[in-house]
Amino acid sequence: MDVKLGRVVITGAAGRIGPTVREGLREDADHLVLVDTADIQPEDGAETAVEADIGDRAALCEAFRGADAVVHLAAITDEAGFDDLLDANVRGTLNVLEAARRAGVPRVVLFSSNRVTGNYPIHHHVFPDEPPRPDGFYGVTKVAAEALGQLYADTFGLEVVALRVGSFEEQPTETRHLATWLSPRDCVGFVRAAITAPNVNFVAAYAVSGNARRFWDLSVGESELGYRPVDDASVYAGDFPDDDPFWHGGPQGGDFAGPEALLPHLGE
């Protein structure tokens, strides 16, 4: 199929997921603009690298000019001090949305996280419109980032897709990943769908492979974005014990949830 993606900005392009997204979009994009605080080597003619912090709204406005979509990955991506998370994940997302509005970019794809609902128990099948139950401060900031996306969609008509990413890995490396794995191929599939889906106002969808043991509903991704994942972590099930205590109960966030995970970040 002939898919044109136009000019696409990727924030956080130098991180773990960025290179996979970059590779997966490059062929069908007119141009990629790669924003990160880390140094990136752009491909001649096809890419531009912009060394900028998402705290710098003016730099984002400049980088976003003429873009058709922004894929926003840059973040603090695990539990951390609340103020740092607020700056990077909430104020940073606000800057991205506001810069997109000012630069006239029609669509923003926010990388949210499964951890916005990480405190639901593992036996609960979660739909994206159920109330958030974040498993830590990181999840709280992703809830706020999604809410900012909804605000910009409702107020300004910005098209916003929040992808609640599972566990992005080449292949599952722990028992929990049998439920939460997002393969690189499905990651690219979800991002491409989030950029190209028609008639988007605000969509929040889980981005997880079609794992038989997943906790999350995929029907919104299919109906609103037109993407059905192709991989399934079940093919790796033999690598992990069937009787792992993880399956006995507890929060979907696993070791990311609970007092031991949060207490170190509560300060004095």
Catalytic residue numbers? Answer: 138
Nearer to ligand NAD, 8 or 198 (CB): 8
Binding to ligand NAD by residue 125, rule CB under 6 A?
Answer: no
Of 148-156, 161-169, 184-192, 213-221, the segment contacting ligand NAD by CB under 6 A is 161-169
Binding to ligand NAD by residue 119, rule CB under 6 A?
Answer: no
Return the closest-CA partner of residue 59 out of 96, 104, 108.
96
Of positions 50, 92, 137, 177, contacts ligand NAD by CB under 6 A: 92
**Does residue 163 contact residue 191 with C-beta atoms inside 8 Å?**
yes
Nearer to ligand NAD, 12 or 253 (CB): 12
State in angstroms the smallest separation of the CB of 1 from ligand NAD: 26
State in angstroms the smallest separation of the CB of 13 from ligand NAD: 7
Hey, which bits of 66-217 come out as E strands? Answer: 69-72, 107-113, 159-165, 167-168, 181-182, 202-207
Kindly identify the residues of this chain, within the stretch 7-66, that bind ligand NAD according to CB under 6 A.
Answer: 12, 14-18, 36-38, 53-55
Contacts of 42 (CB under 8 A, 6+ apart): 32, 34, 48, 49
User: What separation in angstroms does the CA of 23 have from each of 2, 10, 102, 216?
Assistant: 17, 11, 28, 27
State in angstroms the smallest separation of the CB of 72 from ligand NAD: 7
Of positions 8, 165, 204, 233, contacts ligand NAD by CB under 6 A: 165
DSSP label at 32? Answer: E
**Does residue 36 contact residue 14 with C-beta atoms inside 8 Å?**
yes
State in angstroms the smallest separation of the CB of 111 from ligand NAD: 4
> Backbone phi, then psi, for 251, in 5-degree steps?
-75, 150
Torsion of CA 126, 134, 56, 66, to 10 degrees: 0
Contacts of 255 (CB under 8 A, 6+ apart): 261
Binding to ligand NAD by residue 80, rule CB under 6 A?
Answer: no
State in angstroms the smallest separation of the CB of 2 from ligand NAD: 29
As a whole number of Å, the end-to-end CA separation of the chain is: 56
Of 69-77, 211-219, 221-229, 233-241, the segment contacting ligand NAD by CB under 6 A is 69-77
Nearer to ligand NAD, 4 or 213 (CB): 213
Of positions 8, 10, 88, 105, contacts ligand NAD by CB under 6 A: 88
Q: Which residue in this structure is represented by tokens 């809830």?
A: 143
Q: Which residues bind ligand NAD (CB under 6 A)?
A: 12, 14-18, 36-38, 53-55, 73-75, 77, 88, 92, 111, 113, 165, 167-168
